[in-house]
Amino acid sequence: MKKTRAWIALSIAIFMLSACGQPEFTYVRDRAGTTYFKVPSSFTQLDTKAIEGYLSGDHPNSQAAQLRAQRVWSTAFDQSTEPSVNHMLGSADPFVYATVHQLTEEQRDRISLDLLRDFILPVTTQTREAYTQQSVAMGQPPTFRNFELLNDEVLTLDNGARGVRVRFNYQIGNDVQTFDHTALLDEKGSTVSVMLMGCQSICFRKRAGEFDKIASSFKLLRLPG
C-alpha cells in the first residue's frame, strides 16, 4: 500500500514538473519595449525578412531597406504544423504578424485613422480602388478580391493614444481569408504598432475566441521618463 501511494505521489510530481516546463503562452515585446502581446505557445515564431521585403518592395541590399530596418521591428507566428511566412496571406491555420514603426516626420504629418486601417492591406474604399487600378495598369489580376468589411471599431486609449480594429474578408486565389487588423498610434503620434491576424474564413469562425484573446493582449507600454 505504501509503495502504491509512493508511486502515485511520484507520478503526480512528474506530471506537475512537466506541466510547469511547458508555458501556455509566448510573451512578446518589441525592440524598444513599447508594445506587448502574447500568443499561445503552440505557435512557431518566424523570421520576417521575407514579409518586410514583400510589404515594402525594397531590395534587401538597398539603402531603403537598411533605413527601414532601423525604424521597423516585426515578428510573426504560425500555428501550422509546417510553419511558413507564406501563410500570412493564406492558411488553414492561424497566423499572427506584428510590427512597430517609428514614423518619419512626413508620416507623422499624414497619419490618420484611415491610414491606420490601410497600414498593411488595402481596407478603405479609396485605397482599395487605387490598388485595383494599379493592378489593371500593370496587366495583372489583383491578388486581393471581393472585399467584405465585417467590423470596424475606433479605439480610444489612455493618455491620448488611439487606434482602430478592423475585421474583413478578402478572396485570395480560391479561398476566402479573414483578417483581424489592430493598429495603435501612441500618445506622441510617433509610433504605430500593428497586429494582423488571419486564416481562412472557416478557420477564423471556429477560432474567433482565440483571436480575440490574442488581440486583447496587444497593448502599448509606457516607458519610464
Q: What is the pLDDT of residues 70-89, one digit of tens each?
A: 899 999 999 999 999 999 99
Asked whether residue 180 is assigned to any structural domain, the reply reads: yes
Asked whether residue 10 is assigned to any structural domain, the reply reads: no
* Rounded Cα–Cα distance for residues 123 and 141 (Å): 18
Asked whether residue 8 is assigned to any structural domain, the reply reads: no
Asked whether residue 212 is assigned to any structural domain, the reply reads: yes
Residue 172 has pLDDT above 60, yes or no: yes
Identify the domain containing residue 128 by its residue range: 24-220
Asked whether residue 13 is assigned to any structural domain, the reply reads: no
When the pLDDT of each residue in the chain is averaged and rounded to a whole number, the result is 89
Cβ partners under 8 Å of residue 12, min gap 6: none
- Binning pLDDT at 50, 70 and 90, where does residue 15 land? very low
Asked whether residue 15 is assigned to any structural domain, the reply reads: no
Asked whether residue 123 is assigned to any structural domain, the reply reads: yes
CB 179 within 8 A of CB 164: no
Q: What is the CATH number of the domain that holds 168?
A: 3.40.1000.10
Name the percent of the chain lying above pLDDT 70: 89
pLDDT digits (tens, 9 = 90+) for 183-217: 999 999 999 999 999 999 999 999 999 999 999 99
Cβ partners under 8 Å of residue 25, min gap 6: 38, 39, 40, 41
Q: List Cα–Cα distances, 40 to 71, 81, 95, 164, 213, in angstroms.
A: 27, 14, 11, 23, 10
Q: Please tell me the pTM assigned to this model.
A: 0.87
- The DSSP output letter for 189 is S
Is 18 exposed, middle or buried, given 0-12, 13-18 or 19+ CB atoms closer than 10 A?
Answer: exposed
Asked whether residue 11 is assigned to any structural domain, the reply reads: no
* Rounded Cα–Cα distance for residues 222 and 225 (Å): 9
pLDDT digits (tens, 9 = 90+) for 106-135: 999 999 999 999 999 999 999 999 999 999
- If one counts the domains in the chain, the total is 1
